[in-house]
Structure 1
């Protein structure tokens, strides 16, 4: 006599975890930042033993100006809207500052106007990216050309002199602390779940052409904020040099290198706390050491940034692997249409 088949017991998988923008991989970023800290200390000891690293204001001005620019670019990377125009916007802001200051205007007012000009340009670029879903790198390349054109028209090949900062090392250290506060403070703010949830929607998990209203917020914050910080960097550069000219765009490779080497994801949405600040310091110290060795110009000014960018890309990919799948809030469903696909894991 055959036995009746055993009843089939349905096995239920646990319900899927709702999508979120949680801080995956923070421990991996902190581990990398510890390695960077060791590198900074070792480089400082090595360079200081063979030169005058901590004498004079030049290294601190360099950390402050490159750091503000790098912090701006890092912000745009975190929001997945990389702003390739930050270097050109910094030069434009410096020209605006010099133009107003040269005519007898207040230095504070001139600096404020210059930063506002940079902010407005960044917000325009952010609006284009957010409303069209166009890649930020393409839009900001256009913004770079616009900024360079305006700067060229203002300077007309000339250099605009301005009163140079007379505060010396003290003012340089002050601006360095401003950069550290903004960079590290921004990294801490990024740990807040609500901040990440709002600003990481441009790291696309579905069709990149699809219009998403939430992307506009991230694009405005990323491109507007990065442009404002670039503008502040440009103002600090001009106050240190005592003149505005067309040179200064060479800081862009160092800003990109510091953000990537510091652990900010090239894919957007992720980043550590103090990585950008540590990477900026490491690159500036290493560059200062190369200057002291009287190495060729191409080695001093371009090779460190190039190598750091390539290493930073590898670091970014390794941190992504250690952090696990990225999750983000999916775009809202459209009435009458199939719901959008869930997050890719």
Structure 2
């Protein structure tokens, strides 16, 4: 009579909620690239300022603030490995909401708060869908892009709507720029905390992509919800500056993606530097200003420079991944021991 085998001891260690923190080489690679970006920003600013009016008036500052906030939004979604392709459309929706409320004599602060809540609501819904279904965030946010654009078009009836305020002064433009810098750099510093990366980076984890895990839901809510809120802030800032909202104002996804990737935020998710998004945004805005002063066609400055930044940024992502400490793979799933008395079948 065959005896049942002795139970096999199994060690059950639950998988970590997200990717383990990278080794110190990661931040050094980012700092090295950010130093190069800073030099490029200073050189570009010097050339453009010497040949034009880079720092005169409010336009360059507001361009940097609003475009930078949108880039920060996309960068957050990349860090959490939940790329939000709807950030541009959500910025338009927030601006349209603000404009319609202002048109109906709602106070500016209240209109701005409501517009931000609308943007946050869209992001939270997208995060819930992506987190609960484990669907790729880019696919979910693509649907959100269509929803946000449709609602914005309906709110504005396809036309431009005046907010009743004129262009803001230089002081407010610089204040918005400082808000952008504080959010972007502060977020980069916060991401250096291993616990933050582990809590919000679950969507980069190397396991079954369709398996539900609470860490994926947390990362999706933070990435899609937080990026939508920042996109809404960009849309509101733009509308308060130009005094008008239209179905296309603020939809600058290509710039946002280009600045985030060029700034060193990894296309693979999980990694990001400290001030890279700020430097890359400034570089693109200053270069764009110089090209406009040189009468370069707008289709070049709006599309081709952003596309080039995206392609270069993908290469930067790959270089940083190759020179940084690698994330350790998740452990294989534990195998349960056979029940007592179990006899192998022959």
CA distance in 1, matches of 2:181, 2:60: 14
1:209 maps to 210
Q: Report if the CA contact (8 A) 2:91-2:251 is conserved.
A: no
Structure 2 counterpart SS, 1:149: helix
CA distance in 2, matches of 1:334, 1:150: 48
Deviation of 1:334 after TM superposition, in Å, equals: 8.1
Cα pair distance change 1:334/1:126, threshold 3 Å = farther
Where does 1:1-345 land on structure 2 (aligned, <5 Å)?
20-22=20-22, 24=24, 25-165=26-166, 167-248=168-249, 250-327=251-328, 330=330, 336=336
Unaligned 5+ segments in structure 1 are: 1-17, 339-345
Q: Report if the CA contact (8 A) 1:155-1:245 is conserved.
A: yes
Cα pair distance change 1:57/1:141, threshold 3 Å = same
Q: Report if the CA contact (8 A) 1:64-1:175 is conserved.
A: yes
TM-score, normalised to structure 1's length? 0.89
CA distance in 1, matches of 2:148, 2:332: 36
Total equivalences in the alignment: 320
Deviation of 1:156 after TM superposition, in Å, equals: 1.3
CA distance in 1, matches of 2:233, 2:251: 16
Cα pair distance change 1:75/1:332, threshold 3 Å = farther
Deviation of 1:204 after TM superposition, in Å, equals: 3.0
Q: Report if the CA contact (8 A) 1:212-1:331 is conserved.
A: no
Deviates more, 1:18-27 or 1:96-105: 18-27
CA distance in 1, matches of 2:245, 2:251: 14
Q: Report if the CA contact (8 A) 1:87-1:248 is conserved.
A: no
Encode CA deviations 1:299-331: one digit per residue, 9 max, x unaligned: 121111011010000001000001131237x49
Encode CA deviations 1:264-308: one digit per residue, 9 max, x unaligned: 000000000000000000000000000000111211211110110
CA distance in 2, matches of 1:21, 1:211: 22
Deviates more, 1:29-38 or 1:204-213: 204-213
Cα pair distance change 1:121/1:23, threshold 3 Å = farther
Deviation of 1:147 after TM superposition, in Å, equals: 0.4
Deviates more, 1:38-47 or 1:241-250: 241-250
Structure 2 counterpart SS, 1:202: helix
CA distance in 1, matches of 2:70, 2:139: 19
Cα pair distance change 1:249/1:170, threshold 3 Å = closer
Encode CA deviations 1:99-128: one digit per residue, 9 max, x unaligned: 111111110100010001000110000011
Structure 1 counterpart SS, 2:210: coil
RMSD of the TM alignment (CA)? 1.9
Q: Report if the CA contact (8 A) 1:81-1:136 is conserved.
A: yes
Encode CA deviations 1:28-48: one digit per residue, 9 max, x unaligned: 000000000000000000000
Unaligned 5+ segments in structure 2 are: 1-15, 339-346
Deviation of 1:21 after TM superposition, in Å, equals: 2.0
Encode CA deviations 1:159-190: one digit per residue, 9 max, x unaligned: 11003355411100000000000000000000
Cα pair distance change 1:74/1:156, threshold 3 Å = same
Cα pair distance change 1:75/1:123, threshold 3 Å = same
